Structure 1
Protein backbone atom coordinates (compact mmCIF):
# COMPACT_ATOMS: atom_id res chain seq x y z
CA UNK A 1 0.00 0.00 0.00
CA UNK A 2 1.31 3.47 -0.81
CA UNK A 3 0.85 6.87 0.72
CA UNK A 4 0.39 7.92 4.34
CA UNK A 5 -0.76 4.49 5.51
CA UNK A 6 1.92 2.32 3.96
CA UNK A 7 3.11 -0.72 5.89
CA UNK A 8 6.44 -0.03 7.67
CA UNK A 9 8.42 -1.94 10.31
CA UNK A 10 7.48 0.37 13.22
CA UNK A 11 3.82 0.16 12.26
CA UNK A 12 3.90 -3.62 11.94
CA UNK A 13 5.54 -4.10 15.36
CA UNK A 14 2.54 -3.34 17.52
CA UNK A 15 2.77 -4.36 21.17
CA UNK A 16 4.15 -7.81 20.46
CA UNK A 17 7.70 -7.40 21.80
CA UNK A 18 7.37 -4.23 23.84
CA UNK A 19 8.24 -5.60 27.27
CA UNK A 20 8.69 -3.00 30.06
CA UNK A 21 12.20 -2.97 31.50
CA UNK A 22 10.99 -3.67 35.03
CA UNK A 23 8.10 -5.43 36.72
CA UNK A 24 5.17 -3.44 38.02
CA UNK A 25 4.30 -3.69 41.71
CA UNK A 26 1.25 -5.75 40.76
CA UNK A 27 3.33 -8.23 38.76
CA UNK A 28 5.74 -8.51 41.69
CA UNK A 29 2.86 -9.19 44.09
CA UNK A 30 1.43 -11.90 41.83
CA UNK A 31 4.91 -13.41 41.44
CA UNK A 32 5.40 -13.55 45.22
CA UNK A 33 1.95 -15.09 45.57
CA UNK A 34 2.84 -17.80 43.03
CA UNK A 35 6.12 -18.55 44.82
CA UNK A 36 4.27 -18.87 48.14
CA UNK A 37 1.68 -21.12 46.50
CA UNK A 38 4.44 -23.48 45.35
CA UNK A 39 5.91 -23.45 48.87
CA UNK A 40 2.48 -24.31 50.29
CA UNK A 41 2.07 -27.23 47.90
CA UNK A 42 5.50 -28.59 48.80
CA UNK A 43 4.72 -28.26 52.52
CA UNK A 44 1.32 -29.92 52.13
CA UNK A 45 2.69 -32.87 50.15
CA UNK A 46 5.56 -33.25 52.59
CA UNK A 47 3.18 -33.24 55.58
CA UNK A 48 0.89 -35.80 53.92
CA UNK A 49 3.80 -38.09 53.12
CA UNK A 50 5.27 -37.69 56.61
CA UNK A 51 1.89 -38.62 58.08
CA UNK A 52 2.08 -41.93 56.18
CA UNK A 53 5.77 -42.34 57.00
CA UNK A 54 6.86 -41.98 53.38
CA UNK A 55 9.27 -39.73 51.52
CA UNK A 56 10.01 -38.89 47.90
CA UNK A 57 13.57 -38.22 46.80
CA UNK A 58 12.63 -35.37 44.47
CA UNK A 59 10.64 -33.63 47.19
CA UNK A 60 13.50 -33.96 49.66
CA UNK A 61 15.90 -32.60 47.06
CA UNK A 62 13.55 -29.64 46.39
CA UNK A 63 13.39 -28.84 50.11
CA UNK A 64 17.17 -29.09 50.47
CA UNK A 65 18.13 -27.05 47.39
CA UNK A 66 15.36 -24.54 46.75
CA UNK A 67 14.88 -21.54 49.03
CA UNK A 68 11.38 -20.57 50.10
CA UNK A 69 9.90 -17.25 49.00
CA UNK A 70 10.73 -15.67 52.37
CA UNK A 71 14.37 -16.81 52.15
CA UNK A 72 14.95 -15.44 48.64
CA UNK A 73 16.64 -12.11 48.08
CA UNK A 74 14.67 -9.61 45.99
CA UNK A 75 17.46 -9.77 43.40
CA UNK A 76 16.81 -13.50 42.97
CA UNK A 77 13.01 -13.16 43.06
CA UNK A 78 12.68 -10.63 40.28
CA UNK A 79 15.76 -11.17 38.12
CA UNK A 80 17.55 -14.15 36.63
CA UNK A 81 21.09 -14.83 35.54
CA UNK A 82 21.83 -14.18 31.88
CA UNK A 83 25.41 -14.38 30.66
CA UNK A 84 24.60 -12.21 27.63
CA UNK A 85 23.18 -9.32 29.65
CA UNK A 86 25.33 -6.32 30.56
CA UNK A 87 25.43 -6.99 34.31
CA UNK A 88 24.64 -10.73 33.98
CA UNK A 89 21.03 -10.22 35.10
CA UNK A 90 17.74 -9.63 33.34
CA UNK A 91 14.18 -9.25 34.54
CA UNK A 92 12.36 -12.49 35.29
CA UNK A 93 9.49 -11.37 33.07
CA UNK A 94 11.73 -11.55 30.00
CA UNK A 95 11.90 -15.34 30.36
CA UNK A 96 9.25 -17.05 28.22
CA UNK A 97 6.61 -18.65 30.45
CA UNK A 98 8.20 -17.05 33.52
CA UNK A 99 5.06 -17.69 35.57
CA UNK A 100 5.40 -21.45 35.10
CA UNK A 101 9.14 -22.04 35.35
CA UNK A 102 11.02 -22.09 38.64
CA UNK A 103 13.97 -19.69 38.64
CA UNK A 104 14.81 -19.83 42.33
CA UNK A 105 18.49 -20.68 41.97
CA UNK A 106 21.05 -18.42 40.34
CA UNK A 107 24.85 -18.72 40.21
CA UNK A 108 26.43 -17.37 43.42
CA UNK A 109 27.98 -13.94 43.11
CA UNK A 110 25.81 -12.71 40.23
Structure 2
Protein backbone atom coordinates (compact mmCIF):
# COMPACT_ATOMS: atom_id res chain seq x y z
CA UNK A 1 0.00 0.00 0.00
CA UNK A 2 1.43 3.36 -1.02
CA UNK A 3 -0.18 5.52 1.63
CA UNK A 4 -2.24 5.09 4.74
CA UNK A 5 -5.81 6.26 4.13
CA UNK A 6 -7.04 8.97 6.48
CA UNK A 7 -10.23 11.01 6.77
CA UNK A 8 -8.93 14.01 4.78
CA UNK A 9 -7.66 11.72 2.03
CA UNK A 10 -10.94 9.82 1.83
CA UNK A 11 -13.39 12.69 1.99
CA UNK A 12 -11.49 15.89 1.34
CA UNK A 13 -11.32 18.72 3.86
CA UNK A 14 -11.88 17.71 7.46
CA UNK A 15 -12.93 20.51 9.80
CA UNK A 16 -11.28 20.22 13.16
CA UNK A 17 -13.29 22.56 15.36
CA UNK A 18 -13.59 21.35 18.95
CA UNK A 19 -17.14 21.11 20.26
CA UNK A 20 -16.47 23.57 23.07
CA UNK A 21 -14.35 26.68 23.45
CA UNK A 22 -11.19 26.29 25.50
CA UNK A 23 -10.39 28.24 28.68
CA UNK A 24 -7.62 30.33 27.03
CA UNK A 25 -9.96 31.17 24.14
CA UNK A 26 -12.60 32.28 26.67
CA UNK A 27 -10.05 34.47 28.44
CA UNK A 28 -8.97 36.07 25.15
CA UNK A 29 -12.64 36.66 24.21
CA UNK A 30 -13.28 38.44 27.53
CA UNK A 31 -10.11 40.49 27.04
CA UNK A 32 -11.25 41.53 23.53
CA UNK A 33 -14.68 42.56 24.83
CA UNK A 34 -13.09 44.63 27.63
CA UNK A 35 -10.65 46.29 25.23
CA UNK A 36 -13.53 47.39 22.97
CA UNK A 37 -15.31 48.79 26.06
CA UNK A 38 -12.14 50.73 26.96
CA UNK A 39 -11.84 52.19 23.44
CA UNK A 40 -15.47 53.37 23.48
CA UNK A 41 -14.96 54.86 26.97
CA UNK A 42 -11.81 56.67 25.80
CA UNK A 43 -13.53 58.11 22.72
CA UNK A 44 -16.53 59.18 24.81
CA UNK A 45 -14.31 60.85 27.44
CA UNK A 46 -12.33 62.71 24.76
CA UNK A 47 -15.53 63.96 23.13
CA UNK A 48 -16.97 65.05 26.49
CA UNK A 49 -13.81 67.04 27.27
CA UNK A 50 -14.45 69.00 24.08
CA UNK A 51 -18.13 69.34 24.92
CA UNK A 52 -19.15 67.12 22.03
CA UNK A 53 -20.87 63.78 21.53
CA UNK A 54 -21.80 61.51 18.65
CA UNK A 55 -24.88 59.47 17.90
CA UNK A 56 -22.79 56.33 17.44
CA UNK A 57 -21.26 56.51 20.93
CA UNK A 58 -24.65 57.24 22.49
CA UNK A 59 -26.18 54.35 20.56
CA UNK A 60 -23.35 52.02 21.70
CA UNK A 61 -23.98 52.83 25.37
CA UNK A 62 -27.74 52.44 24.92
CA UNK A 63 -27.78 49.16 22.95
CA UNK A 64 -24.58 47.26 23.72
CA UNK A 65 -23.98 45.58 27.08
CA UNK A 66 -20.55 45.86 28.68
CA UNK A 67 -18.43 42.73 29.14
CA UNK A 68 -19.20 42.47 32.87
CA UNK A 69 -22.96 42.84 32.19
CA UNK A 70 -23.08 40.05 29.62
CA UNK A 71 -24.19 36.53 30.47
CA UNK A 72 -21.66 33.78 29.73
CA UNK A 73 -24.17 32.40 27.23
CA UNK A 74 -23.90 35.64 25.23
CA UNK A 75 -20.11 35.94 25.57
CA UNK A 76 -19.27 32.49 24.24
CA UNK A 77 -22.19 31.49 22.00
CA UNK A 78 -24.11 33.10 19.15
CA UNK A 79 -27.61 32.72 17.78
CA UNK A 80 -27.90 30.42 14.77
CA UNK A 81 -31.32 29.52 13.39
CA UNK A 82 -29.95 26.33 11.81
CA UNK A 83 -28.72 24.84 15.11
CA UNK A 84 -30.79 22.44 17.20
CA UNK A 85 -31.01 24.73 20.24
CA UNK A 86 -30.51 27.94 18.18
CA UNK A 87 -27.04 28.52 19.64
CA UNK A 88 -23.54 27.56 18.58
CA UNK A 89 -20.11 28.23 20.04
CA UNK A 90 -18.64 31.55 19.01
CA UNK A 91 -15.44 29.78 17.98
CA UNK A 92 -17.38 28.09 15.17
CA UNK A 93 -18.07 31.47 13.54
CA UNK A 94 -15.57 32.40 10.80
CA UNK A 95 -13.45 35.39 11.85
CA UNK A 96 -15.06 35.37 15.31
CA UNK A 97 -12.20 37.43 16.74
CA UNK A 98 -13.04 40.36 14.46
CA UNK A 99 -16.83 40.47 14.67
CA UNK A 100 -18.81 41.96 17.54
CA UNK A 101 -21.39 39.45 18.77
CA UNK A 102 -22.75 41.21 21.84
CA UNK A 103 -26.46 41.34 21.03
CA UNK A 104 -28.48 38.19 20.37
CA UNK A 105 -32.23 37.78 19.96
CA UNK A 106 -34.00 37.82 23.34
CA UNK A 107 -35.04 34.45 24.71
CA UNK A 108 -32.50 32.36 22.78
TM over 0.5: yes
Instruction: Report the equivalent of 1:39.
Output: 37
Instruction: Report the equivalent of 1:83.
Output: 81
1:64 aligns with 2:62: yes
Task: Identify unmatched segments of 5+ residues in structure 1.
Answer: none
Cα deviation for residue 10 of structure 1 reads: 1.0
Per-residue CA deviations over 1:66-86 (Å, capped at 9, x if unaligned) read 000000000000000000000
Instruction: Report the equivalent of 1:11.
Output: 8
Cα deviation for residue 97 of structure 1 reads: 0.6
CA RMSD of aligned residues (A): 1.6
Per-residue CA deviations over 1:5-64 (Å, capped at 9, x if unaligned) read 16x5713357x6200011111000000000000000000000000000111111111111
Task: Identify unmatched segments of 5+ residues in structure 2.
Answer: none
Runs of 4+ with deviation above 2 angstroms: 11-14
Instruction: Report the equivalent of 1:108.
Output: 106
**CA–CA distance in structure 1, aligned partners of residues 53 and 92 of structure 2:** 36
**CA–CA distance in structure 2, aligned partners of residues 42 and 17 of structure 1:** 36
